[in-house]
Amino acid sequence: MEKRPVVLVVMDGIGINEDDYGNAVKAANTPTLDMLMSNYPNIAIKAHGTAVGLPSDDDMGNSEVGHNALGCGQIYSQGAKLVNESIANGKLYSSDTWHKLTGNCVEHGSTLHFIGLLSDGNVHSHIEHLKSMITRAKEDHVKQVRVHVLLDGRDVLATSALEYVDDLEKLLRTLSDEAFDGRIASGGGRMKVTMDRYEANWDMVRLGWETHVLGKGRQFDNASDAISVYRDELPGVIDQDLPAFVIAENGNPVGTINDNDSVVLFNFRGDRAIELSMAFDYDHFDKFDRGPRPNVVYCGMLQYDGDLNLPKNYLVTPPDIQNTLSELLVKNNIRQYAVSETQKYGHVTYFWNGNKSEKFDEALESFEEIPSDRVSFDERPWMKAAEVTDKLIAALESGNYDFLRANYPNGDMVGHTGSFNATRIAVEAVDLCLTRVLRAVDGTNAILLITADHGNADEMFEKSKGGVAKAKTSHTLNPVPFIIYDKKQAHVIKTGSYGLANVAATVTSLLGIDKPDAWEESMV
């Protein structure tokens, strides 16, 4: 078999939806994508639910589990499913870490703090996990709990925060008595406070530290008042963009984090949990001035980075992903190249390689990151697509690589802003770049595969009461395209039902390499 390069392009957040309503993908002018779907082998594949290791097909996919599946060719229990299993079988509460957390509070009469995304979006967290842990903490004789809530509006309806706050407050009122005091202590929108990723904006984490740990910030009597006041003051603002707030009594914060307290970051997804974990765990830390770091027992829901051992304490063991595509390619002396901008760079590297920060082989793997703009993505919906394309084409034309992969974040990151018009432009920017990639593929005798990791831009509106359209900022349950572009050889996609985990075997088939038995089957 002639050795030909294989290129994989991930159009992040661009799914397939036959409905025109709120569909920025259909509304966009995409002549290249339309041509590919009309003239070259393609199929719709699953990118959510059980196809990517989530509990059910009601669960939206996300970029992390999507790139895990793409990069390992297998389906592992992921995120929410892992936590669900650990709570159901009792392993979470019998773990050494749980005993360390609660025992510390009982011994010192101190507070157990929970920090995390308050919703049932099931992408970063789930409110039921939090409620279960608070209830068990009381059973284990913890006397005081404080919750620092990050408001969603991204993986759930854009202005649904009060529903989750009310649900949590109801539980805390039910549990509180002479022996137990549970309250919300602070919070803010997830895109304003705490939940940065890939070290793109440390000021978000600094603000989170000041809000949750130090209790600095605008004070309110309760979280519901904070949300209502901010909505009145900032018309049109959605939950993810609400400013930080601190709950206080008589001018004093009700839930600062102090020496001898215990702290749980209850998000199970790693990308937006790593930086806060660094701030709590690292002795030597120079990203912002923490002030006197409180001496606490800190843990994550999972270990967010195994190579960095971060955090040191965690409640649920993450999947041990073995036999990844990168490992197989390294064993076969296949040279690899990966590129994206900051917002998805970790997805084509860390998540792709089975949640491992390090390369399997420095000589055979090359990673390139394009720094993302630090503005709201609806203001520059083209993002860094042109620069990613420049680098991908240069790498392909160099002849130095046999397998190349790139992620265009536009459909997802701009889709999350809720701006339909900006998202349409984002999709068009990706299509323009595909035109250039096709020319480079033709000129280098390569094979091009195009897919997505989940949907988002394909469903931007949600009908509320009265049939009024509301912005939908979350991922979708729609399938994603898988396209094979090869002018030199005709390919036939086998009849069947496929998901993201089938892509790896398809890549190895095109490279002339046998797949491991544990992998899902090739589509060709």
Q: Cα 15 to the chain's mean position, in Å? A: 17
Phi, psi of 125 (to 5 degrees): -165, 175
Query: Do residues 414 and 381 make contact, with C-beta atoms less than 8 angstroms apart?
Result: yes
Pair type for strands 447-451 and 6-11: parallel
Helix then strand count (H, E) for the chain reads 17, 18
Active site (annotated) includes residue 464 = no
Residues 6 or more apart whose CB falls under 8 angstroms from that of 325 comprise 70, 71, 72, 73, 352, 504, 507, 508
Find the catalytic residue in 63, 110, 119, 326: 63
d(CA 381, CA 278): 31
What sign does the CA torsion over 411, 165, 226, 233 have?
positive
Output phi, psi for 447, to 5 deg.
-115, 135
Q: Which two tokens stand for residue 513?
A: 């390499």
Rounded CA gap, 54 and 4, in Å? Answer: 35
* Half-sphere exposure for 453 (CA within 13 Å, toward CB): 29
Q: At a CB cut-off of 8 Å and minimum separation 6, what does 170 contact?
A: none
Please state, in angstroms and as integers, the Cα–Cα distance from residue 126 to each residue in 137, 267, 477, following that order. Answer: 17, 8, 18
- Residue 175's nearest CA partner among 150, 143, 147 is 143
Which H, E and C letters describe 374-413, residue by residue?
CCCCCCCCCCCHHHHHHHHHHHHHHCCCCEEEEEECHHHH
Cα atoms found within 13 Å of the Cα of residue 27, Cβ hemisphere only: 19
Q: Residue 221 and residue 216: Cα distance in Å, rounded?
A: 14
Beta bridge partners of 118: 151
Q: Tokens representing 310?
A: 């971060």
Rg (CA), the chain: 23
Three-state secondary structure string covering 43-108 = EEEECCHHHHCCCCCCCCCCHHHHHHHHHHCCCCCCHHHHHHHHHHCCHHHHCHHHHHHHHHHHHH
Instruction: Pick the closest to residue 9 from 496, 493, 440, 513 (CA basis).
Output: 440
Active-site amino acid positions? 63
